[in-house]
Structure 1
Amino acid sequence: MGNEDSEAHAADPKNFDAAEVIMEHIMDNHEFHFADVNGHAISIPLPVILYSPQRGLDVFMSSKFEHGHANYKGYKMEHDHIIPITESGAVDETVKVYDLSLTRNVVQMFIALFLLVILMVNVAKKYRRNGANVAPSGFQNAVEPVITFVRDEVGKPNLGHKYEKYMPYLLTIFFFILINNLFGLIPGFANVTGNISFTLVLAVISLIVILFSTNSHFWGHIFWPPGVPFLVKLILIPVEFLGIFIKPAALMIRLFANMVAGHIVIICFISLIFIFGAMNTVAGIGFSPVSMAFTVFIYVIEILVAFIQAFIFTNLTAVFIGQAFETGHGHEEGHGNAVAHGDPHPTAEGKEKEFAL
């Protein structure tokens, strides 16, 4: 939130708009804003990249807008949206602007990607240097149980003997989502996984992997389900075809909704202090310990949710990939062998039903 809004709220608590605060917290921004101290914002400005067919390319830092107080190069910022203006300050409807800026969601995503690559490369170097027979140390000791967990609880049960082919992808999305989930819990940082565009891209990538893993048996069941009356097939075929796209869409919505909901709940509890304070100062002070206690509780829950949502997205992706290439007889035979050897893991279809709950 900009200085202008913060000062207005500080001057008159009754002006506090909880909905505005919540939306500005979960939406993207052109800076990392941490706090306002004595009317001065503590923030890190980010590069603004604007292209207009009428005005050309402009590159500058978001600090030039002075948190919405100033105009720069014929542009102004309102509620973190950059708008072209005329010399008189009015909105210029004749100018089309494409905002290609490095917002905090984009920057944080690159930071998470950089951190993921650095950590995993260092772990791989240790394995290459010491081999698998040397006890892991440092960060390698923390990562190895997670990797084996994803392999044994996600890859092998859902993908069978083909699990090694998909482990690089499964591990990448697990750690990438996890790192972004944890970053989102740091005050001032962005909730990247609470952005529908981010989860949409992950879902599209998973859909591509799923489609490239299909075989003739899979498409045969989609367009001509066996053992089904003809009239039922006319209804079932479009449903099965839509299911190809509904499954990744469910991944997208599940991750987005769960991550954004926790942040909204936390901000709601904090906002209650200001809402009660607007009604009565004593009520605001008295409710503060209750609000903070619930906030800390939800925050701890969110740390757990960060791990759970990364696991669920990865696991369901593996389930859908397994359903794409498994065959009727091979699947039953593979499951029978697993049971015979004492493997209690359910089938890919059973896993999907379990996590759908």
Structure 2
Amino acid sequence: MALKKYIAYIALFLVFLLPTISFCADNQEKEPFNINELIDEHIGDSHDFHLFDYKGHAYSMPLPIILYTNNGLVTFLSSEFHHDNKGTVVVEKDGQQFVRYKEDIYYATAGTPLSLDEKGKVTNSRPLNFSITKNVFSLFLISVLLVLIFTSVARSYKKNPKAPKGLAGVLEPIVLFVRDEIAIPNIGEKYYNRYMPYLLTVFFVIWTGNLFGLIPFFPFAGTVTNNIVFTGMLAFFTLLLTIFSGNKHYWKHIFAPPGVPVWILPIMIPIELLSIFTKPFALMIRLFANMTAGHIIALSLISMIFIFNSVWVSPVSIIFTVFMQTLELLVAVLQAYVFTLLSALFIGQAVVEEH
């Protein structure tokens, strides 16, 4: 039994060490290590999933490029760019030419495909981009997974509503926690039930999305929550629910705060109106910043090996990286809880009755 434990520990160490060693060997043959490019590549969105490198050639799973251009809708696979991300490969479709630069699609210009100004900003015009990127694909995958899970749970409850077993028994305490510790205390027993579908959806989508980004060596695990557009849309949905759920007492508090002298109202009303939008803005930034910061710290710790150009730094980097990844498991559920809690709090402020 002790021998098996030692073998398991060695295997776990090699799982984290071997990719680092292979990256070191590969890095020595190429251009100097750039930590900014590494971090941008891993936390940024992409039009394909990078799988592995073999004999100097990158292998990836292409994703659909969907562009609305001057000549209508244009679709093709990202593999036609041949892994180019610097605007040198031109793809021609329907009489139009396109280049990809830092994961953005531009119209190619005559002569020089990509034009940059003195500050390095691209001057090419861009089509409307509706492509299925890495984060979009991950969101679809998470949605399908959650639908399958809760469909199975629903069937389980139909068969045995009093004593759920298996997956239903695991998820029931979580659902009850969201109801009893988040929804009811913040929204109230009278109105909480109508908002439970939204709160449960937000909680499980964020939690699952956070966990997907922590799966090691899984190429299709994009962290959707470190994309500010995704977190912004979730916050926007909370804003809409808050605005359309607001009763007369809520709006009275905005435009005529009780107990406030009349001469202060011109100051208070703009502040109260601004608070309607600052609350979801804080939701958006909090979730985005926390998840992005965790990934940047983990990548920075691994990058210490290449910055110091010494394999002897790897044990320290790997130990701290494993610690950070373990901590991220807690952060994953904590951020889902905080976002759901604050959403329920903002909605509760809108539906609360006057005391």
- What's the counterpart of residue 104 of structure 1? 134
8 Å CA contact retained: 2:65, 2:130: yes
8 Å CA contact retained: 1:155, 1:167: yes
Task: Give the whole-Å Cα distance in 1 for the aligned partners of 2:232 and 2:25.
Answer: 36
- What's the counterpart of residue 209 of structure 2? 180
AA of the residue aligned to 1:144 = E
AA of the residue aligned to 2:49 = F
TM-score (norm 2): 0.83
Task: Give the whole-Å Cα distance in 1 for the aligned partners of 2:224 and 2:28.
Answer: 29
Aligned CA distance change for structure 1 residues 16 and 125 (closer, same or farther; 3 Å): same
8 Å CA contact retained: 2:99, 2:113: no
Question: What secondary structure sits across from 2:308 in the alignment?
Answer: helix
Query: What does the per-residue CA deviation read over 1:96-129, in whole Å, with 9 as the maximum and x for residues that have no partner?
Result: 4222211111111111111111111111121122
AA of the residue aligned to 1:30 = H
Compute the displacement of 1:86 (Å). Answer: 4.8
1:37 to 13, 37, 54: 54
AA of the residue aligned to 1:71 = V
Task: Give the whole-Å Cα distance in 2 for the aligned partners of 1:307 and 1:41.
Answer: 34
Question: What secondary structure sits across from 2:147 in the alignment?
Answer: helix
Question: Equivalences for 1:255-266 in 2 at 5 Å?
Answer: 255-266=287-298
Query: What does the per-residue CA deviation read over 1:313-339, in whole Å, with 9 as the maximum and x for residues that have no partner?
Result: 00111111111111231xxxxxxxxxx
The answer to whether 1:244 aligns with 2:276 is yes
Compute the displacement of 1:218 (Å). Answer: 0.9
The answer to whether 1:216 aligns with 2:232 is no
AA of the residue aligned to 2:182 = V
- What's the counterpart of residue 150 of structure 2? 120
Question: What secondary structure sits across from 1:36 in the alignment?
Answer: strand
Aligned CA distance change for structure 1 residues 151 and 67 (closer, same or farther; 3 Å): same
- What's the counterpart of residue 50 of structure 1? 67
Task: Give the whole-Å Cα distance in 1 for the aligned partners of 2:113 and 2:351.
Answer: 58
TM-score (norm 1): 0.82
- What's the counterpart of residue 138 of structure 1? 166
Compute the displacement of 1:230 (Å). Answer: 2.2
- What's the counterpart of residue 336 of structure 1? none
- What's the counterpart of residue 194 of structure 2? 165
Task: Give the whole-Å Cα distance in 2 for the aligned partners of 1:29 and 1:179.
Answer: 20
AA of the residue aligned to 1:64 = E
Question: What secondary structure sits across from 2:59 in the alignment?
Answer: strand
Query: What does the per-residue CA deviation read over 1:247-285, in whole Å, with 9 as the maximum and x for residues that have no partner?
Result: 1111111111111110111111111111111xxxxxx11
More helix by share: 1
- What's the counterpart of residue 29 of structure 2? 11
The answer to whether 1:72 aligns with 2:91 is yes
Compute the displacement of 1:184 (Å). Answer: 1.5
Aligned CA distance change for structure 1 residues 42 and 139 (closer, same or farther; 3 Å): farther
- What's the counterpart of residue 332 of structure 2? 306
8 Å CA contact retained: 1:52, 1:95: no
The answer to whether 1:295 aligns with 2:329 is no
AA of the residue aligned to 2:303 = S
Question: What secondary structure sits across from 2:164 in the alignment?
Answer: coil
Identity %: 47
8 Å CA contact retained: 1:7, 1:39: no
Task: Give the whole-Å Cα distance in 2 for the aligned partners of 1:243 and 1:306.
Answer: 27
8 Å CA contact retained: 1:177, 1:193: yes
8 Å CA contact retained: 2:65, 2:76: yes
Task: Give the whole-Å Cα distance in 2 for the aligned partners of 1:299 and 1:50.
Answer: 37
The answer to whether 1:232 aligns with 2:264 is yes
Aligned CA distance change for structure 1 residues 85 and 7 (closer, same or farther; 3 Å): farther
Runs of 5+ consecutive residues of structure 2 not aligned to the other structure: 1-23, 116-122
Question: What secondary structure sits across from 1:67 in the alignment?
Answer: coil
2:302 to 270, 283, 289: 270
Task: Give the whole-Å Cα distance in 1 for the aligned partners of 2:50 and 2:126.
Answer: 28
Task: Give the whole-Å Cα distance in 1 for the aligned partners of 2:57 and 2:256.
Answer: 65
8 Å CA contact retained: 1:181, 1:193: yes
1:197 to 211, 215, 229: 229
Compute the displacement of 1:84 (Å). Answer: 2.7
CA RMSD of aligned residues (A): 2.2
The answer to whether 1:21 aligns with 2:21 is no
Task: Give the whole-Å Cα distance in 2 for the aligned partners of 1:95 and 1:24.
Answer: 23
